[in-house]
Amino acid sequence: MTQLSMFIVVLAALVIPIMMARFKVTSVPTAVAEIVVGIILGKTGFNLVQQNSTLSLLSEMGVILLMFLSGMEIDFSLFKAKPSEDDNQASPVKLASLAFAGILVVATILSFALKYTGLFPDPLLAIILFSTIALGVVIATLKEKEILSKPMGQTILLTAVLGEVVPMFGLTVYATLNGGNASRLWLLVLLLLAAIILLYRFKQPFIWFNKITKATTQLDIRLAFFLIFTLVIIAEQVGAETILGSFLAGMVMKLLEPHESTAEKLTSIGYGFFIPIFFIMTGVKLNLRELFANPQALMLIPILVACFFIAKLVPILVYRTRFSNRNSMAGGFLTATTITLVLPSVQVAQSLQVITNTQAGAFILAAVLVCIFAPIIFNSVYKLSKEDLIKQRVVLIGANMITVPIAQQLSNEWYEVHVVTTVEKNYKTYNSEVKNLVLLPEISKESLTKAGLNDVDILAACYLDDEQNYEFAQAALQSGIKRIIAFQNSRAVNNERMDQLVAQGVEIFNAFNVETSVLRALIESPSVMQMLTGTETGLYEVRVVNHRFTGRQLMELPFIDKITVSRIRRRNHWIDPHGTTVLEYNDRLIFTGKKEDVNTIRQQLRKAN
C-alpha cells in the first residue's frame, strides 16, 4: 500500500498541471488545485492514499523547500530608497509598511473578537494566521499580469514580503513560548548570527564556484542544500521552527546573488517534485467529513474566510493614496491570498496541541477558499495603468547636431527621450524641434535628481568636448544609472579618462571608429547597410527579461515566424541560434523583422515580470 500511495501521489503531481493547461484553468493557483486533488484522494474522498513514513519525509522536505524558495523570492533592492521618488508621492516601501501595519492592527481586533465570542480561543495564533500573505502565489499572479517590476507590483510584492517574514518570526516566537522554551528565546539570535556568518563566508567563494562548476558537480545547488540543512539543524537545536531556518537559508542564497539559471534549477527541484507532494498530502490529511459533521466548524469556516478578507481591507485604503481606486481594490484582494504559511503554522499549532484537528481543518479550508477567489478577483478587477506601460527612459546630454536627430528618430512607442543642455543659446535654437528639451544650470548628480532625470534606463553624454563628457558620465555613475554612453570626439587611441570610463562600465561612442566601420560595411556588406538604414526592415536588439519566454526553445516562440534571429549574446559570449536553442534570462537577441511587427515583439520580450 505504501508503494501504491507513493505512485498515486506522484501521478497526481504530474497530471494536475497537465489537466489545468488542457482545460485552461489559469485563475486558480496550482498549489490550491493540488490540495483539492489531495482532498479527493485522501480521507475526505476515495481514501486511495495512505500517509506513510516515505510520503511524510517527502512532504516535510517539500515545506522546507517551499520556505527556502520563498526566501529567495525577496528582492532586497526594493527596500532601497530611490532618490527619484517624488516627495509628494509615497514610495512602494512606505506604502507597503503602512499597509502591513494596518493588517496587523485589524488582525489583532478580529482575533480578540473571535476569542470573546468563543469561536477561537487563541488570539496570538489567529493574529499570525490572519496577517500572513502567500508570497509565492502573489509573485506568480503579478508575473502573469506582467506588473511585478512596476510601482503597483512592487508595492503589493513588498506587502507580501512583510506578510511572510513578520508572521514567520512571530510563529517561531509563538512556538517557543507555547513549547515551554521561553528561556531559550534568546537563542534565536544564534540562528540569525549563523545566517550572517554563512552569507559572508560564501560571498566571495560563490563567485569562484560559478566559474568552476560543471554539469557533474553543480556546486551552486550543493551549496544551496548545504545552507538549507545547516540552518534547519541550527533552528532545531535552538528551539526554533525548521521553516524559519529554511526561509533564512533562502534569504542568504538570494543575497549571494546567484545566476538566474541557479534559481531556475532550484525552482525545478522544489516545484517539480517535493512541493507538489507537500500540497497533495495536506489535502490527503484533511478530513472534511468530520469537519462538516461539526456544527461549530461549519459556522467557523465562513467567519474565517471573512476575517481573511477583512484583515486585508487596510491595504486598499493605503494603496488609494497613489493608485486608482480600481487597482487599489484589486491589490487589496490579492494580499488576502494566504496558503503558504497557513499550512505549516497549523501543523506547528497541532504539534503543540493548542488547536484541535477540527479547528486546523477549518483554517486550512478557509485559506484554500480565499486562495481560489482572491487571484480571480484581482485578475478580473485590475486594469493596466499608464505607469504599468512605461517606456524606456533615455536622456541625451547636449543639444546639437548629434542628439537632436536621434531624439527625433527614436520611436515614441519604445522610448521616452529627454535632451538636456546647459547652453541657453542651444535651448532656444532647438526648443521647437525637440519635444522634451531641458535647460539645466549644470550637469551633476544633484541637478539630475532635482530634474527627475536620474532614474532613467539610458544616459548618453554627447557634448563635443571629451572632458565635459567625462564629467557628465561620472555624474551619471554617481546617480546609479545602469547604462551610460559617452561620446568621444578625439581620435586619440589611448585616452586615460576614456579607458577609466570603460573600466567603470561606460560604453564609448567614437566618431572616427563609426565612420570607418560604416565605410567598411558599405564596401564589404552593402546589403547589411541597406538593412540598417532601410525603412521596411531593420536589424534590432532586445534583452529578454520576460520570464514567460525564458526556458523555451526559439521555435516555440509565438512570433518566431515574423522575425529571423541572427545572433544571441549570452554572458559576454556569442551564440549561433538554432530552433532548439533555449532562451535564458538576460539573453540579448539580434534579429531582423518588419518594423510593424518589431514593436510588439520587443515590448513582450523586454517586459520585466
pLDDT along the chain (609 residues), means of 10: 88 92 79 88 89 90 87 71 53 89 95 91 92 83 74 87 86 78 66 82 72 73 90 82 85 83 85 90 85 82 93 93 90 88 83 83 88 86 69 83 81 76 84 83 80 81 84 82 84 68 83 72 69 64 81 83 85 82 85 78 76
CB atoms inside a 10 Å sphere around CB 235: 26
Amino acid at 72: M
The dihedral sign for the CA sequence 272, 274, 278, 280: positive
Q: What is the pTM of this model?
A: 0.69
Residues 236, 239, 241, 246, CA torsion sign: negative
**Cα–Cα separations (whole angstroms), residue 535 to 63, 332, 416, 525, 561:** 55, 47, 21, 18, 20
Question: Which residues are 589's β-sheet partners?
Answer: 542, 568
Domains 2-388 and 526-605 equal at CATH topology level: no
**Which amino acid is it at 159?**
T
Of residues 44, 28, 29, 35, the one with CA closest to residue 13: 35
CA-to-CA dists, residue 55 to 59, 69, 282, 285, angstroms: 6, 21, 11, 12
Q: What is the DSSP string of 449-512?
A: HHTT-SS-SEEEE--S-HHHHHHHHHHHHHTT-SEEEEEE----S--HHHHHHHHTT-EEEEHH
The CATH number for 391-524, chosen from 3.40.50.720, 3.40.50.620, 3.30.70.260, 3.40.50.300, is 3.40.50.720
- Cell 500573505 appears where? 133
Give the pLDDT score at 78. 63
pLDDT at 255: 85
Q: What is the pLDDT of residue 422?
A: 85
CATH (residue range 2-388): 1.20.1530.20
CA atoms within 13 A on the CB side of 483: 8
The count of C-alpha atoms lying within 13 angstroms of the C-alpha of 304, restricted to the half-sphere facing its C-beta, is 27
Neighbours of 543 (CB within 10 A): 15
Write down the domain spans for the chain. Answer: 2-388, 391-524, 526-605
Alpha helices in 117-187 (DSSP H): 123-131, 135-145, 151-178
E strand spans, 495-562: 507-510, 537-543
Residue 246 CA to residue 135 CA, distance in Å, equals: 15
Encode burial over 93-120: b for 16+ CB neighbours within 10 A, e otherwise. Answer: bbbbbbbbebbbebbbebbeebeeeebb
pLDDT value of residue 119: 87
CATH number of 526-605: 3.30.70.1450
